[in-house]
Chains A and B, each alone.
Chain A
Amino acid sequence: MSSTASTGWVIALTPPEWRRWLLTDTPQSRWQARAGRAYLGWAAFARNPLAMLGLLIVLVLIGMAIFAPLITSYSPVVSGDTVADRFLPPGGDHWLGTDGHSWDIWSRIVYGSRTSLLIIFMVAITAAPVGIIIGTTAGYLGGWIDTALMRLTDTFLALPKLVLALAFAAALGAGMENLILAIAITSWPPYARIARAETLTVRNTDYIAAAQMSGASSLRILIGHIMPMCLPSLIVRVTLDMAGIILTAAGLGFLGLGVPLPQPEWGSMVADGRSDILNQWWVCTYPGIAIFIVSLGFNLMGDGLRDVLDPREQ
């Protein structure tokens, strides 16, 4: 009895059926409506081959970071024989060659994906909350607080990002934490602007008024009712910025202000191979290709995402 019921349930969800459930004009629950909207967005995204290519690159990057030890047989930091394994050309056991430290370049690129993802992730979770707190506070409280906070944001927006990050990294010294801090300090202002704009649209709605009348504090309304409304557009913007974060991090790494050796980081790998470029071109070339592919992937994915969420361009 129960088995037939469950079979019937499975049959009810065969492809045309679950599509109909998702695309219905009369969703039975809020979650069904949301799932339907997400499905439509996904369908639009999937129709764009370049966006799908971008998504694929990002997924491969994440896969590389997770399964790094399974993908390479060499350690990224333990060098081979310092004479015999130095500057081996691509091919054979070391299929992208080895560098001047006798490190295997392929495994350093693979492990370097962890560094890149960590930097992106840390910058995102540092800069986005700062932006959201400043933006929602300014938008909700208004008045002189709004003016002061937005003046601050505009000032930061008008400053040269790379040079400022450079100055910060130079003053704080090389290292992963300082690199992340330097990039985060210069990337929060756009998030604050977006959060403020979202806050202004919900500030005068009935449900906020209801929360105010039931005696909720400003803090509680900000955290519980306004910040969640800002998240979707903020997440999109952060995704769009990720290619830029990768390039900035690689640039600072190239200038020697990133993660110190022996930890693998693509920008510093390019810098490391630069002096040997004439005879050992592979040391410098492959990490650069890695930076390019990953940043292209994030750009393609971000473009596709924006087309889906902002259909004005169509």
Chain B
Amino acid sequence: MTDILPGWLRSIGKVVISIFITMFGLLLMTFIISRLLPADPVLAIVSDHASAEAIAAAREKLGLNHPIPIQFALYIWDVLRGDLGTSLRTNQPVLEDLARVFPATFELATWGIVIGIVIGVPAGVLGAVRKDSWIDNVIRFVGLVGYSMPIFWLGIMGLLIFYAKLDWLPGPGRLDFGYEDMVTPITGIMTIDTLLQGDTEMFRNAVSHLILPASLLGYFSLAYISRMTRSLMLSQLRQEYVLTARVKGVPERRIVWKHAMGNVLVPLLTVIALSYGTLLEGSVLTETVFTWRGLGLYITDSIFGQDLPAVMGGTIVVGFVYILINTLTDALYRFLDPRAK
């Protein structure tokens, strides 16, 4: 039966199935967490002194009168339809709230990964080429510091120094106070929306607000990217084809950037995608520090607002994006590198 299908179709099928299974696991987790909660979800809707009928009606509405497996099935069905419930704070569908804040996180994480790649990859290559030299040690140490840094604290220190003391950069938020209502959200991505409006001053303002949080996330990802680039590059430079190329007199620069890099590229892609997923996650802490109205801040605000549907909705969306990135990268890796079977 399976032999009838061409190979590529089967591969896609496997990827889709794998995403579905992992999503099922994620939903099972969020379902268990919502039912673990000490607070009674019914009380969030009706008051303490509600009549028995009102409580029964609320239970009915929430589907709590069904047996647990049925409740879970209904829960999955709701999520598949895009119904993540209604936020208790904003009184809007959670999915709409999330769609509104997602571009902010996307913008921040994307600039972060760009900084991470632009600095991290050359740094890793340099470290591998000059293995054990002082520059290699400096790069490794800077990376290790990035690994060990509590990102929320570094953000606070950055604000203290560059905003409060030196006044080189603007404070928290995505735009200065007066500007915030002047941008019509088109994509939700500030650096694009301001350009679409043709307002260069506002664009500059948006970029200046991005610098600190994006550099922070960039530092975080470059620590990982440079370390992995270095170790991938080192394993290539030990290969015999490199020796052969050297013997034939190929310039070292060409050996590193053409021959070795060609083989490093595929696994490096996996590393970059994984660290992009981690950045989406890491934005929770960064956004809290910089009052960056994205997914992360939405989730933490919802936690303190006791807004469970919003917390779970945010978890599902972050989880879904994360799973998607992981699985697709894995599939891409298998596709690009036939040795990985």
Chain A residues within 8 Å of B, Cβ to Cβ: 151-152, 154-156, 158-164, 166-168, 170-173, 243, 247, 250-251, 254-257, 267, 270, 274, 277-278, 281, 284-285, 287-288, 291-292, 295-296, 298-300, 303, 313
Contacts and interface: CB of A to CB of B under 8 A. Distances in A.
Given A166-B303, A285-B157, A299-B144, A254 B29 contact: no
B313 to A, nearest CB: 11
B299 interface: yes
* Chain B contact residues: helix, strand, loop or mixed: helix
Q: How large is the interface on B (under 10, 10 to 19, 20 to 34, 35 or more residues)?
A: 35 or more
B304 to A, nearest CB: 7
10 contacts: A159-B29, A160-B322, A166-B300, A172-B38, A270-B150, A287-B153, A288-B154, A292-B148, A295-B149, A313-B234
Contacts, number: 131
Nearest to A299: B148
A274 B164 CA distance: 13
Interface of B: 21-22, 24-26, 29-30, 33-34, 36-38, 144-145, 147-154, 156-157, 159-160, 164, 231, 234, 277, 280-282, 284-285, 288, 299-300, 303-304, 308, 311-312, 314-315, 318-319, 322-323, 326-327
A178 to B, nearest CB: 10
* Chain A contact residues: helix, strand, loop or mixed: helix
Nearest to A257: B303
Contacts of B34: 171
A160 B303 contact: no
Nearest to B317: A163
Nearest to A288: B153
Given A168-B33, A250-B150, A303-B144, A288 B157 contact: yes
B150 A167 contact: no
Contacts of A250: 150
A288 B285 contact: no
Given A159-B26, A255-B288, A267 B150 contact: yes
Nearest to A151: B21
B22 A158 contact: yes
Contacts of B326: 158
Contact of B299 (A158, A166, A299, A300): A166
Contacts of A159: 22, 25-26, 29, 319, 322-323
A19 B284 CA distance: 53
A270 B153 contact: yes
A270 B318 CA distance: 26
A296 B145 contact: yes
Nearest to B26: A159
A54 to B, nearest CB: 10
Contact of A255 (B234, B282, B303): B303
A194 B15 CA distance: 24
A256 B152 CA distance: 13
Contacts of B280: 160
Output the residue of A161, A254, A284, A295 with the most chain B CB within 10 A.
A254
B281 A251 contact: no
Given A159-B26, A300-B144, A247 B150 contact: yes
Nearest to A152: B25
Nearest to B35: A171
B223 to A, nearest CB: 10
A243 B144 CA distance: 11
B327 A170 contact: no
Contacts of A167: 29-30, 33, 311-312, 315
Contact of B153 (A163, A164, A291, A313): A291
Q: Which 4 A-B pairs have the closest CB atoms?
A: A288-B153, A155-B25, A296-B148, A295-B148
Contacts of A270: 150, 152-153, 156
Contacts of B303: 166, 170, 255, 257
A171 B30 CA distance: 10
Nearest to A174: B303
Contact of A163 (B37, B319, B327): B319
Given A155-B21, A159-B26, A281-B160, A172 B319 contact: no
Given A155-B22, A267-B150, A291-B153, A163 B281 contact: yes
A253 to B, nearest CB: 10
Contacts of B30: 167
Given A163-B299, A254-B285, A292 B153 contact: yes
A291 B38 CA distance: 31
A167 B318 CA distance: 12
A4 B341 CA distance: 68
A246 to B, nearest CB: 9
